[in-house]
């Protein structure tokens, strides 16, 4: 039973625009490249995955993917993610692929064990395994068989939308909650997730978050440790 991992990637120089107040374009490009290659390296460690397909309109990202032995699919212009994934699915169905695994390229804590757990949880012979983001709104992992059994619904609130689509399609669903799949990187406070690789980025993210939280306090409010970060978790995927 052939399993193919599909990794959609935004242009490396344009991704993570929400970090623009903390990181320069060059630094965000460096971070995006690190996260992307980390994903490719993890997928190489999963024997259940026969091949990886990277979908992007960025020629630099596609060239980098090929350096890691991944197959590539050039997006058409500024095509929407769900349409790009639908196109990739159609191509894979013609190659008799049994299972598709969709993963974003910004999961800094992702491990091979996380990927294997997601694949192993998929109901058989048909069904979908979904990994929600930390706030329960985004979809950070999707393993589906057979291909095309349900529509893709990436965007705001994609996780509940994917659950609803699976029910409509009569597909059994498994929900997989693991830190490596739940913790994506999108906001300045999330830079703590890459503190080992980018300690300066992490420090800047913490300072920015603390400063932003302080500006939200009333003038006469006492200092309160442990204030929640002023940014919501990502809902894009």
pLDDT at position 224, please? 42
Position 190 confidence tier, pLDDT thresholds 50, 70, 90: very high
Position 225 confidence tier, pLDDT thresholds 50, 70, 90: very low
Note the Cα 97 to chain centre separation in Å.
Answer: 22
pLDDT at position 167, please? 95
pLDDT tens column, 1-56: 699 999 999 999 999 999 999 999 999 999 999 999 999 999 999 999 999 999 99
pLDDT at position 218, please? 56
pLDDT at 113 over 90: yes
Average pLDDT of span 70-90: 89
Average pLDDT of span 111-130: 97
CATH architecture of structural domain 3-182: Alpha-Beta Complex (3.90)
Three-class DSSP labels, the chain: CCEEEEEECCCCCCCCHHHCCCCCHHHHHHHHHHHHHHHHHHHHCCCCCCEEEEEECCHHHHHHHHHCCCEEEECCCCCCHHHHHHHHHHHHHCCCCCEEEECCCCCCCCCHHHHHHHHHHCCCCCEEEEEECCCCCCEEEEEEECCCCCCCCCCCCHHHHHHHHHHHCCCCEEECCCHHHHCCCCCHHHHHHHCCCCHHHHHHHHHHHHHHHHHCCCCCCCCCCCCCCCCCCCCCC
Position 236 confidence tier, pLDDT thresholds 50, 70, 90: very low
Q: Across the chain, what does the average pLDDT equal? A: 90
Give the whole-number percent of the chain exceeding pLDDT 90. Answer: 82
Report the SS3 class of residue 69.
coil
pLDDT at 197 over 60: yes
pTM for the predicted model, two decimal places? 0.88
pLDDT tens column, 172-187: 999 999 999 999 999 9
pLDDT tens column, 121-146: 999 999 999 999 999 999 999 999 99
pLDDT at position 1, please? 60
30-39, 88-97, 105-114, 154-163: segment of lowest average pLDDT: 88-97
Q: Which residue has the tokens 């349900």?
A: 150
Note the Cα 61 to chain centre separation in Å.
Answer: 15
């Amino acid at each position: 039973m052939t399993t193919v991992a599909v990794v959609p990637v935004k242009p490396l120089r344009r991704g993570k625009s929400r970090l623009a107040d903390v990181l320069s374009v060059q630094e965000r490009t460096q971070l995006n490249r690190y996260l992307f290659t980390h994903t490719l390296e993890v997928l190489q460690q999963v024997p259940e995955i026969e091949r990886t397909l990277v979908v992007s309109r960025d020629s630099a990202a596609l060239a980098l993917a090929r350096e890691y032995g991944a197959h590539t699919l050039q997006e058409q212009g500024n095509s929407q993610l769900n349409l790009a994934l639908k196109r990739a699915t159609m191509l894979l169905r013609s190659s008799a692929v049994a299972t598709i695994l969709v993963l974003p390229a910004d999961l800094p804590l992702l491990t091979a064990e996380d990927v294997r757990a997601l694949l192993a949880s998929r109901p058989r012979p048909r069904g979908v395994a979904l990994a929600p983001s930390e706030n329960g709104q985004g979809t950070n992992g999707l393993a589906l068989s057979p291909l095309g059994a349900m529509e893709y619904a990436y965007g705001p609130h994609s996780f509940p939308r994917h659950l609803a689509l699976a029910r409509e399609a009569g597909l059994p669903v498994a929900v997989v909650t693991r830190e490596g799949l739940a913790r994506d990187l999108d906001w300045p406070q999330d830079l703590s997730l890459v503190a080992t690789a980018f300690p300066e980025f992490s420090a800047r993210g913490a300072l920015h978050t603390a400063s932003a939280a302080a500006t939200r306090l009333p003038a006469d409010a006492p200092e309160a440790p442990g204030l929640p970060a002023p940014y919501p978790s990502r809902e894009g995927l």
